[in-house]
Structures are given as structure tokens and as C-alpha cells.
Structure 1
Amino acid sequence: MTNPQVLSPVTLRCQFCDTCNRVDLARAADRPKCGECSKPMLLDRPVKVSDDDFDVSILESAAPVLVDFYADWCGPCKMVASLVDEIAQEHVGKLLVAKVDTDRAPKVAGRYGIHSIPTVILFRDGEEAERSVGFEPDRVRAIAREASV
């Protein structure tokens, strides 16, 4: 008998070997492994995404994706980072949580008009659905909660 869970395929780059892997987010509890290096695909924490893999990882995702646009030098971004880490753990298997360093991914930051950081955007079906600018922990939690239903 087949698993009745809804498939939520996402394409993610392995943080260890940089190979792109197709992963079913709904089966995150099965602890998927990279097809190349066999190391775990860590879905209980935010995945880092760059200009090179943003479209395939975020826009082509079947699952909703919460993206934290940040920079290493930004103080408020560090406060949002711990919140986003918690959200990734709380919503594993239902919501993909990603991070985009705006200094290293200027094309994506420009495409989405990221002028202030931190900015958190929820993407559904490849489209921006919600946006939070600045440190708004309650709003970001509400966006994540609604997206993972």
C-alpha cells in the first residue's frame, strides 16, 4: 500500500557536497540523505540558498517556503536568525525554511526589492504570499503557522 501523505518535493543543495537533491519534504522524518555523498539533508534547520539555486529550490518548491533575507553584519538579522531556526524545527516536514545572504545573492535580493534587512518572505507556488520587514517575531511566527497548516 502506498503512503497517503501528500508529496511535497523540493530541490535542495547538499550543504556538504553541493549536489542538488530532490527531497520530499513531507517525508522529512525519514531523514533523507544526499544521493551523492550519503550525508543527511538537514531539513530541521534553514537551508542556505544562493543566486544559483534560488529558482529551483524556492520558486519550484511544491511546499511553502519561508525565506529569511539577511546579512552577516546586520544586528537585527541575528535576532531573526534564532527565530527562523526555531521555526524550521517546529514546522519540519510542513514548511521549508531557507536563508539568503543578500551580500552573496545580490540578484535575488534585487529581484525581490530587498532594501531593508532582515526581510522574511513566504513563497507559495513560486509566488510571494507574505512579507515581513524588520524584526517582527510575532508576525513571522504567524506567517509560518498559517503556511504550515
Structure 2
Amino acid sequence: MQKTYLTATTETFDAVVLQATLPVLLDFWAPWCAPCLSLGRVIEQIIPEYADKVLVVKINADENPELCQRHGLRSLPRLSLYQHGQEIEIIEERTRARLERYLESRF
């Protein structure tokens, strides 16, 4: 399967997320987090149809604790929507059907 997302780190966050020309679906995750892996599979399945409308960016929380602290993360996974360099919404949808409905309503 072709990679359908970008990754960001503390060093690249501004360039990848804040300066993106498309809205960004930002996914904080960790390799040990079962819900993160499940959500990641859902995103991989549905995001190709939105590839021209939204950019998916994943951040490994274990490797980027400064970003986690900066965003006030208290639990994983955390999915949010950025537009024009600003976080506009934390997305609570975790199932495929609910995330598809959310994306349809936005894009």
C-alpha cells in the first residue's frame, strides 16, 4: 500500500503543518497504542479519496514529547484539524463510518 500521509517532528512541525496549503488532519499516535494503530488503519483506508482536499500528517508521540507538551496531550490517539496554521477542531470520531461522515461534512 502506498503511503498516504506525511510525518512531522518537533523540528519539521511548522513547515509541514502550519505552512501547509491544504487543511491538515493531524494524528498524534504511538506504536504501543492499540487505539492509535486501529485509527491509523481507518485513516489509511479512507484518506485516498480526500487526498486533493486534506493532508494527513502523523506525529509519533514517543519521539516528539515537546510537541505533545505544546499541544497539551493527555491521551492518545489525538486527531485534529488544522487550517491556515491554526488548530480549529479536535476530532472525536474513531470509527470508519463516523470519520467518513466527518470528512464528508468538511470536504
Unaligned runs of 5+ in 2: none
**Counterparts in 2 of 1:71 and 1:114: CA distance versus 1, 3 Å:** same
Name the counterpart of 1:116. 75
Q: Choose from 39, 42, 61 the match for 1:80.
A: 39
Q: For the aligned residues, what is the CA RMSD?
A: 1.8
More helix by share: 2
**Counterparts in 2 of 1:110 and 1:141: CA distance versus 1, 3 Å:** farther
Unaligned runs of 5+ in 1: 1-41
Residues 73-99 of structure 1 show CA distances to partners (whole Å, capped at 9, x for unaligned) of 001111101111123212111110110
Q: Aligned letter for 2:4?
A: R
**Counterparts in 2 of 1:51 and 1:89: CA distance versus 1, 3 Å:** same
Further displaced range: 73-82 or 86-95: 86-95
Please, what TM-score do these two structures have when normalized by structure 1?
0.63
SS of equivalent to 1:69: strand
Q: Find the structure with the greater CA-based Rg.
A: 1
- 1:1-149 matches, within 5 Å, as 45-133=4-92, 136-137=94-95, 138-147=97-106, 149=107
Residues 24-64 of structure 1 show CA distances to partners (whole Å, capped at 9, x for unaligned) of xxxxxxxxxxxxxxxxxx7x601111111111110111210
SS of equivalent to 2:11: coil
Aligned residues: 105
**CA distance in structure 1 between the partners assigned to 2:59 and 2:77 by the alignment:** 10
Identity of aligned residues (%): 29
Please, what TM-score do these two structures have when normalized by structure 2?
0.86
Name the counterpart of 1:38. none
Which structure is higher in RCO with an 8 Å CA cutoff and minimum separation 6? Answer: 2
